[in-house]
Amino acid sequence: MDGLTHIDFNKKFVALIAKNTLVAEEDIRPTLRFNQDMSMDSLDMANLVVEFENEFNVTFTDDEAEKIVTVKDARELLMKKLKPVL
């Protein structure tokens, strides 16, 4: 993504999570767990991963996607994938 800044990334990242959960953007915290705290099942998580991939033009392996438990996990994995850009 050309010209993506940390601020742009954070806004898009939080907005995607809010869009795919019942959690308001202002309530999304790094320690929130997608399954237990946000009531997401495996299909919900798969959809969120696809949205991350589409929005940020990255690809996750199944193993990487399965390791996403918390908001922090998702953010760190995305940051790692986007490191050359950000």
Question: What pLDDT does 61 receive?
Answer: 96
pLDDT tens track of the chain, all 86 residues?
A: 446 688 889 999 999 999 999 899 999 999 999 999 999 999 999 999 999 999 999 999 999 999 999 999 999 999 999 886 55
Q: Which of 27, 41, 44, 62 is catalytic?
A: 41
Question: What pLDDT does 48 receive?
Answer: 97
Question: What pLDDT does 86 receive?
Answer: 54
User: How many domains are contained in the chain?
Assistant: 1
Q: Give Cβ neighbours of residue 35 (< 8 Å, ≥ 6 apart).
A: 41, 45, 69
CA distances from 60 to 6, 14, 25, 56, 81 (A): 20, 18, 24, 11, 9
47 part of a folded domain: yes
Is-above-0.95 flag for pTM? Answer: no
76 part of a folded domain: yes
63 is catalytic: no
Question: What pLDDT does 85 receive?
Answer: 58
Q: Provide the CATH number for the domain around residue 29.
A: 1.10.1200.10
Q: Which domain holds residue 38?
A: 6-82
How many angstroms separate the CA atoms of 31 and 79, rounded? 17
